[in-house]
Every structure is written in C-alpha cells, then in structure tokens.
Amino acid sequence: MFWLSNKIEFPPYEFTTKEGIIALGGDLSCERLIHAYKNGIFPWFSEGEPIVWYCPYKRMVLFPNDLKISKSMRKVMQKSEFVITENKAFEEVIYHCKYIDRKDGFGTWITDDMQQAYINLYKKGIAKSVEVWLDEELVGGLYGLEINGIFCGESMFSKVSNSSKLAFIHLVKNSNYRIIDCQVYNDHLASLGAKEIDRELFLNILKEVI
C-alpha cells in the first residue's frame, strides 16, 4: 500500500489494489484534492481512518446525451412545485448529505475534515451545489467539483421523493459538461442513465478535456 508524503503527487495507476485503492494518507488541502480529481482519483474513508484514495477499475459516469427521464419524473418536473437553484446553500447541502439517514449507510463517509475541505473548495469556486426547495425549505440537492469541463459528483440527499433526481437532471440539462463522474455504481444513478466504463477510457476522456 502506497503512503503519500507531503509532496502533492500520487503513485502510478499500477499501484491500485483490486478494491480500487491507489494510496493512503496525505491531506485534504485544496491543492491535493484538485490534483487528485484531475487525475481521476478521489478520497473516500470513514471517521478515524487514514485518508483513502480511490481510482477504481470501473467508473460510474453519465454522458449527458444518455440522461434518462422517466414519464413519472417528467410529470413531477411539469408541476413546478419545486424551485431549483445553484450555489445558494452549499454548506447546507453538504450538511444534509452528511447527516441524512441513508439505508445504504453511504452518508457516513463525509467526515468533519472532508466537510470543511469541500467548503474550502466551494469558496475557491471549484465546488458547486444544486439545491431543490419546496415551500422555501431545502428538501434535496447535490454537490461536487467542476474540473476542466467535467462535473465530479460527490454526494446528494433527498428529504422528499424525487428531489435529488430533480437536482441531478437540472445539473445535466443546464450545463455543458462533457461527462458527469459518478465515481461508483449505484442503482439511483443507473436509473438516470449512468453506466460503468473502464478506468482507462475514463482517464483518456479526462486527459482530452484537460
């Protein structure tokens, strides 16, 4: 297992384990995080653990033209009950992503340090949020990073049905991203058209965009 030093660099991709781990340690500075995402690497770990950096062999992505909107979702969008904004409540979005009750447990990976690191990226104009409001209450949203024409999704939350899907659809339809990086497979994003591709293809797309 490769441990990072203070120098902002990552080992060759050949160091990646079968679980997709490429390195351990380091820090969550803006500079290291930006460097990581530009190279297809992202942190994912739990409180009390060393920082774990991933570059999985299969990457969950959405090509914008592949976006799927079901008939039921189109009806929800037509009702106009929700108000959707961007970058109006980033810190609230990441707070809800961290503390929302999830059946899969995936909310637990947003540690205190991770939360602050992405707030720092937001203040630098690198991180972005999409918010969904109902009767002036924040009921859904997502956040991630904008890296050279790619949106690297980090987390989303939903307090009412379909609100996180609305945030995701808004993101795709109101931007010019070449690709949405969803990182790892989940059924929620697959239902919206995301799919797994080989790491090599993802990294080639990333290099072309950069």
pLDDT in tens, 178-194: 999 999 998 989 999 99
As a whole number, the mean pLDDT across the chain is: 93
pLDDT exceeds cutoff 60 at 105: no
pTM of structure = 0.93
CA-nearest of 204, 176, 192, 200 to 66 is: 192
Residue percentage of the chain with pLDDT more than 70: 96
For residue 171, what are its two tokens?
């993101």
pLDDT exceeds cutoff 70 at 108: no
In this prediction, residue 52 carries a pLDDT of 97
pLDDT band at 100 (very low <50, low <70, confident <90, very high): confident
CA distance 49 to 165: 31
Q: What is the pLDDT of residues 52-70, one digit of tens each?
A: 999 999 999 999 999 999 9
The second-level CATH assignment, the architecture, of 3-56 is: 2-Layer Sandwich (3.30)
**Which class does domain 60-196 fall in?**
alpha beta
pLDDT exceeds cutoff 60 at 133: yes
Q: Where are the domains of the chain?
A: 3-56, 60-196
Q: What is the pLDDT of residues 149-208, one digit of tens each?
A: 899 999 999 999 999 999 999 999 999 999 999 999 989 899 999 999 999 999 999 988
Residue 33 φ/ψ region, left for φ over 0, alpha for ψ in the -120 to 50 degree band, beta for the rest = alpha
pLDDT exceeds cutoff 70 at 210: no
CA distance 180 to 165: 14
